[in-house]
Amino acid sequence: MNDVLSIIVKRLGLGLVTLLIISILIFFAVELLPGDIAQAVLGMGATEENLAALRERMGLNDPAPVRYLDWLAGAVTGDFGVSLVTGESVASRIGPRFVNTLFLASYAAVIAVPVAIILGVIVALLRESIFDRVANVVTLTFISSPEFFLGYILILYFAVQTGWFPSLARIDDGMSFLEVLERTFLPALTMVLVVTAHMMRMTRASIINLLASPYIEMARLKGVPAWKVIVKHALPNAWAPIINVVALNLAYLITGVVLVEVVFVYPGIGQTLVDAVSKRDFPVVQACCLIFAATFILLNLAADIGAILTNPRLRHPK
């Protein structure tokens, strides 16, 4: 147990160091933008008084390391500054949007994870069959297709031609839960098609790799049915790589939804990031990038810890 705790603490420490490095890159990437940031925000018609006021408001008169430490200290406490466009707190602006993104990612994950694992087990049982070949072709097609392309195809068939679902995923507080599920079905389905393919192929590969193990051969020699060999013997030992790929795809669902949210005009943090970039709202851009990085690192840590807990060889590397 102490070995597991020490490994988890080390992983958390490495995650914090990684997040610190990413925060430095995010902050100084904005600093390295050519030209005057205040001039870029206000435009060429800005007066010197307005420029001086904005520089003072953004703290541009202080050295860059001082501004970074101030920004980092605020980010740790949830204070990302003030939006240059609306004047409201960045945290209050992106908070509800991030909740919307988490809802959309959870919606897609609830569908994708069980479907991917079940399909992975089925194609492992029926490997080298026609069903296996068709599943491989279909999954490779979805993996190779950009998210925005799949989104537009779904809009064409399910919104324009059949009218089953709305093409825009706009939601508000007055909607019921079922209405929200209906409005967000197409963007969720777009992400499900992509991540299910990844997880299904990893499940299939992990199980097939284990089928050549001696204990699997012994179970077969004892006359254990094929489905029971996979479900009760192979699948439990394949959880480590499956958990890794599931966690990575969950991270993708949260951090890779920018194009999907733009296509369906969904009010998530990805749409907020695109709007902030177009309007040069740098505090919002920095906050969104840092949240994406923290989420991705956290889910990667969860994948590592899950793999360690499910694999005794990782818990006792010696």
Instruction: Of 85, 104, 89, give the one whose Cα is nearest residue 267.
Output: 104
Instruction: Dump pLDDT digits (tens) for 87-113.
Output: 778 888 888 888 888 888 888 888 888
Stated pTM of the model: 0.78
Considering all CA atoms of the chain, what is the largest pairwise distance in Å, rounded to the nearest integer?
86
Cα separation, 112 vs 50, whole angstroms: 51
CB 191 within 8 A of CB 237: no
Per cent of the chain over pLDDT 70 is: 85
**pLDDT greater than 70 at residue 289:** yes
Delimiting residues of CATH 1.10.3720.10 domain(s) in the chain? 90-315
CATH number, domain 90-315 = 1.10.3720.10
304 to 8, 251, 301: CA distances (angstroms): 9, 13, 5
Instruction: Dump pLDDT digits (tens) for 167-216.
Output: 877 777 777 788 888 888 888 888 888 888 888 888 887 777 777 777 77
**pLDDT greater than 70 at residue 315:** no
Q: What is the CA radius of gyration of the chain?
A: 24
Instruction: State mean pLDDT over 206-235.
Output: 74
Model confidence at 140, pLDDT cuts 50, 70, 90, reads confident
**pLDDT greater than 80 at residue 292:** yes
Q: Would the CA dihedral through 71, 76, 82, 86 be positive or negative?
A: positive
What residues contact 210, with CB distance under 8 A and at least 6 apart?
216, 234, 237, 238
